Amino acid sequence: MHTFLIPQKQTGIAAFGNAPTAIIPAVALIAIIGGFSAYGFSLIGRVCSYTGGQSYREAWSKSVGDSSSWIPAATCTFKTCFAVLSYSMILADTVRALLMTAGVETTRTLALLGITGPVLLPLCLLKNLSSLAPFSLVGIAGMFYTSIAMALRYFGGAYKLGVPKAGKVAAVPAGKFVADVATQYQPNFGNLGASAALSPNTFILICMLSTAYMAHFNAPKFFIELKDNTIKRYNTVVGTSFGLSVFIFALVASLGFLTFGSASSGLILNNYSGKDVLMSLSRIAVAISIVFSFPLVFVGARDGWLDLLKVPVDKRSDSVLTKTTLAILSGVTLIATQLKELAFIMSLAGATLGNALIYVYPALMFRSAVKNMGEKASKGLKREVPFAMFSASLGVVMGWKVRVSIVLSFECFVRYEVFVIYGYFI
């Protein structure tokens, strides 16, 4: 039986720094990882263009080979399962916080069960998910609103710790919401700034970023459905989208860390007071976004399992889909009620599945696609292969380093809740 190493609460930028200057290397990493992630996304679409593949598995099959196509298929399936688990964990914390803001005391478990049964399950059972597409705009608007709200709270000093009077130096009053924040979430700063980025713990942030930029299993679909889907137009869309993502990630990460320092939670909204109306609206926006995004990701996980189990499409009756949905959703919900460290899940998924899908597999497919072209491959494509393989090696190194970092930097103990999870299965 395998055991998990459960991390301490320091995550993201706080995993390696606790001084404001730590955001300098963090923002640089956000931009660099975003750039390489965009390159991997671009490679997948280009391989589909070269080979005619219409899915991640098919792109692999037509470039690398059909016999090993189960490897990316399995990786995509498990990665979407991790994404669904992360969504459930965020909803558990967010819904609980919203209920407490309304004066309703509850637990994470009850909050998650309350949103899963009557809301998520019916959405996951929908036969046509196209009606949920407009709600993606709510998610985008919610992220921009959250960024603005976090900026207002940081520059307004609403969460600043008070400083007592010292000699002739006047006292600095505490922010109006600090007293309402749990001790472990109150601002905490030290002297580990930009230079602390040399710590092995930096790889925890890197692999969290791999999860943050993860959308690569849908790259073939985006390329195929793009109007006038030339490679040039596709790359323009990819560059613009990832550029905007880099900006939002860097802004939110910086504002959250500058406000709370090493006390920053893996889900930064947990740091804000339940009495803060401005941030409560952010929680509502995030909850709505996740609720309507949940079934889109869940269907990917469900179809992935059915594919791995070799259930033909024509055999996927309503009964089979319903039973599979209940089984997967029940398992994910059970695990989400027991695990609380979102950043650990993101780091683990990013270090393994994310790095493979973003950096390694796209480069291998591109190399094989160019090789299969033979003399038809341009000199530019042939010269690009070494850079693509460098991107793949980068993914391998990052995945290995973060596993070493987890062992060196995290407490070596197994929390009670892990045994609770095992208790359901043994």
Mean pLDDT of 259-275: 88
Phi and psi at residue 10, to the nearest 5°: -65, 125
Angle 219-224-227 (CA atoms, 0-180°, nearest 5)? Answer: 115
Q: Check if the beta carbon of residue 190 is closer than 8 Å to that of residue 262.
A: yes
3-class secondary-structure state, position 7: coil
Beta-bridge partner residues of 188: 261
262-271, 310-319, 356-365, range with greatest mean pLDDT: 356-365
pLDDT by residue (tens digit) across 163-200?
Answer: 666 665 455 567 889 888 888 889 999 999 999 888 87
Going by C-beta distance under 8 Å and a sequence separation of 6 or more, which residues neighbour residue 177?
153, 158, 159, 272, 273, 275, 276
The residue with tokens 């985006």 is 222
Using a 10 angstrom Cβ sphere, with 0-12 exposed, 13-18 middle and 19 or more buried, the burial of residue 298 is buried
3-class secondary-structure state, position 161: coil
pLDDT by residue (tens digit) across 149-164?
Answer: 999 999 999 998 876 6
Q: Say which residue, 380 or 206, is predicted with more confidence.
A: 380
The predicted pLDDT at position 130 comes to: 67
3-class secondary-structure state, position 259: helix
The predicted pLDDT at position 350 comes to: 57
Residue type, 262: S
